[in-house]
Amino acid sequence: MKVTPGVLDRAAGVLLGQVIGDALGVPYEFAAPIKAGQARMIGGGLGPYDPGEWSDDTQMALCIARVAATGADLTRPEALDAIALAFLGWKSGGASDIGNQTAAVLARASREDGNRVSIRMAAIAAELAATGQAGNGGLMRTSVVGLCALDSADKTADMAAKICALTHPDTRCVESAMLWSLAVRHAVLTATMDVRVGLKHLSPDRRAWWEQQIHAPETAPPTTFTPNGYTVTAFQAAWASIHATTEKAGPGQVPAALQLAVSIGNDTDTVAAVAGGLLGARYGASLLPSEWVQQVHGWPGLRADGLVQIAHHMVGHE
């Protein structure tokens, strides 16, 4: 498909929006909630992190994005293997923080032999998921998947499901990743935000269930959606922060929504990173707050310009 300047700008906005939300939320993760408007990129958090440094949310997203930037089809076994190997390499040589569910899967996957690492990793994840775990670790990294198949919603859904299932195969995790990735794709293409656009990719009963989950953050205070380590609550918290700031539609919505996302509390970097990916997809890199863009940096030694380059390669722009 033809990549217009607007699509290119919004594609770059996905990565930049994610990292801005991530770095803004880092200092407040699992700390006492703050008031909306008080969040600053001061570093610290669980890492600890330097001011403006992103966390595991973006680090894992970049494992996916760097494979996609090579032009790989992320539905293919070899591409999924490359992502799985990138996750393992990140764990041993770059992870500054890591969620419990992800850590358990990667620890076991790294100890077992075999060429098809993605199949092995997904099988381990499925075994662990039998205990009922539905953490937000698949959702937190999924916004970038919305860039990987701009010409096909079906393919985007397939990619999101398969990549999520490498560590988080619970149905709720997979569906939350699919819906958010499809919403990001839609925003990049149309400059509008709609988290319902992917509902048609679900079965009728799951579609009805998710309609209820999406309606809830549109009718309740954002602070309702905490704790948010659960993938559905994290999805709701991110959407609540965006929906509650729609009156600020325009560039002003980005800081307003991200400040609100952080103020919800609990897993602040994840909620703000998820929200930031969709906001960046809607408004584009050119409309993100420049002072935040200039501050962000992190593993593997990237700053904003490197993220823009990766995003451009992901959508086929040299």
Q: What is the CATH number of the domain that holds 256?
A: 1.10.4080.10
Q: Tell me how far apart the alpha carbons of residues 177 and 315 are, in angstroms, rounded to a whole number.
A: 19
pLDDT of residue 131: 78
Give the structural domain span for 285.
5-314
pLDDT at 280: 98
Task: Please return the burial class of 193, using the count of CB atoms within 10 Å of its CB with bins 0-12, 13-18 and 19+.
Answer: buried
Residues 6+ apart with CB under 8 A from 313: 69, 70, 71
3 state SS of 28: helix
pLDDT, residue 40, reads 98
> Which parts of the chain have pLDDT scores under 50?
none
pTM for the whole structure: 0.97
How far apart, in whole angstroms, are the C-alpha atoms of residue 216 and residue 287?
Answer: 29
Residues whose CB falls within 8 Å of the CB of residue 171, separated by 6 or more in sequence, listed in order: 206
Reported as a single tens digit per residue, the pLDDT across 237-290 is 999 999 999 988 888 999 999 999 999 999 999 999 999 999 999 999 999 999
Overall number of domains in the chain: 1
Could you give the count of Cα atoms lying within 13 Å of 63 in the half-sphere of its Cβ?
27
DSSP 289: -
